[in-house]
Amino acid sequence: MAFGITREQLNEWKETVLRGEIAYLTHYWLDPRFPGVRTVTKVGCSDLARLTEWCVSYSLNPRYIHNRPPFPHFDLMGSKQVEILRSERLWSHLERFKLLEE
């Protein structure tokens, strides 16, 4: 279950993904398969080659891309999520969801 984002934020993410750009959307998330995980960042891009390159650049296995047209994405969680958000300088994501405090 996703929550903590606005319709405007979701639509902006979708538009960016559809343009073939890398887009980041962080939201609160609860899933019993991942106890202790409270947020996820969806990294989307409709250009699968570009999304694959992005995964490889961060030593992530592109096999785990959720190829769900028209919004393919990779789910980031945990320490890798924080590491990549820092690397991408997405401070607003880190601050809003208090990921720097973990």
Say if residue 79 is exposed, middle or buried (CB neighbours under 10 Å; 0-12, 13-18, 19+): exposed
pLDDT at 3: 81
Q: Is the pLDDT of residue 102 over 80?
A: no
Number of domains in the chain: 1
Q: Which domain holds residue 45?
A: 2-101
pLDDT at 4: 87
Q: Is the pLDDT of residue 2 over 80?
A: no
In the chain, beta strands by DSSP E: 2-3, 23-29, 39-44, 73-76
Specify the higher pLDDT residue, 2 or 43. 43
Which tens digit of pLDDT belongs to each residue from 48-76? 999 999 999 999 999 999 999 999 999 99
